[in-house]
Amino acid sequence: MANSINLAEKRIVVTGGAGFLGKAVCQVLRERGVPDTQILVPRRSDYDLIHEANVIRMYDDFQPDVVIHLAAEVGGIGANMAQPGRFFYANMAMGMHLVEEARRRQLSKFVHTGTVCAYPKFCEVPFREEDLWDGYPEETNAPYGVAKKAIFVMLDGYRRQYGLPSAVVVPVNLYGPGDNFDPSTSHVIPALIRKCEDARQANAPSITCWGTGEASRQFLHVADAAEGIVRAAEVMDDPVPINLGGGEEILIRELVSRVAQACGYLGKVEWDATKPDGQPRRSIAIVRANSLLEWSPRRLFVDGLAQTIEWWRANRSSSDFALQREAYANLSSAA
């Protein structure tokens, strides 16, 4: 832990700042007093950060003091299974080039957002940061999780050898208004909301969900995650991984029931057990976040779910939703 820095005095690049999590982080930065002119968001159409030359040009153009790295190529189980090589390469390349250039330019702080997918497949619940290296991640998203986790090691080495101040946060599955609802790349909550809403409007007698429903997940509202990330930028200098999560562990079967009920869908739920469940259980301990960041989640899941459904109903056919999808395509945020 370090002495707290005043982010309002810094030029801050937020990679993925046009995406789901990025917009929430930018909002928290504004609430901290950072002027819009000092919140800098590279767009993929201008800076494809997978390529080193574009990373160098981005640093040259923006001259940041702090980088909050949220950008990722990411998706649900299906997307991870379809593009394992791409997900590893893209996430590894972005992180590696961004960190190396941060070292060369002696940044005040580099903040890396990891993923709960980095944890071992069979990890004692709740997951503790000390368990990150106790086994191989769940196979369907291992390339993504390992690529993100490798940057933890890079930042630790750069802190010890070069003195680069940095922070690492590890969020659980995120959800909330503005999430990505594209069926080919969305995570479980937006995917289920869209499935239930489409079925309700079509009066469909049933919906089909992947797996057995016996896996579990823990969910974090995007606004709570954004607060934790900004707090890490303010107070951390050492890249010890810090979990961001909390709240209840929910079976996917129970989650589907809750989403269907909240959407008003009364049809039958069928399970396709030929499809993978993903990691058997996910729930993380937040003792470090409590201690090092003085952070804990504030929003109840039932309220956040209702808020997310309301947002989807208001935006699914609007130009705002089209813009949100374009922003996600430009630079999506880690989840």
- The set of catalytic residues is 144
> Cβ-count burial of 150 within 10 angstroms (0-12 exposed, 13-18 middle, 19+ buried)?
middle
Output the CA–CA distances (angstroms, integers) from residue 21 to 141, 158, 177, 290, 332, in the order listed.
20, 26, 10, 21, 8
CB-based contact 117:138 (threshold 8 Å): yes
Q: Residues 54, 90, 252, 200: what is their CA dihedral angle, to the nearest 10 degrees?
A: 60
As a residue count, the chain comes to 335
Q: Identify whether the C-beta of residue 246 lies closer than 8 Å to the C-beta of residue 296.
A: yes
CB 280 within 8 A of CB 249: no
- The pair phi, psi for residue 167, each rounded to 5°, is -140, 150
- Say how far apart CA 117 and CA 100 lie, in whole Å: 24
State the burial class of residue 206 (Cβ atoms within 10 Å of its Cβ: 0-12, 13-18, 19+): exposed
**Residue appearing with tokens 């789901």:** 20
Q: Hey, is 204 helix, strand or coil?
A: coil
b (16+ CB within 10 A) / e for 216-244: bbbbbbbbbbbbbbbbbbbbbbebbbbbb
Pairing of strands 71-72, 332-333: antiparallel
Nearest to 171 by CA among 232, 95, 123, 122: 232
- The distance of Cα 331 from the centroid of its chain, to the nearest Å, equals 12
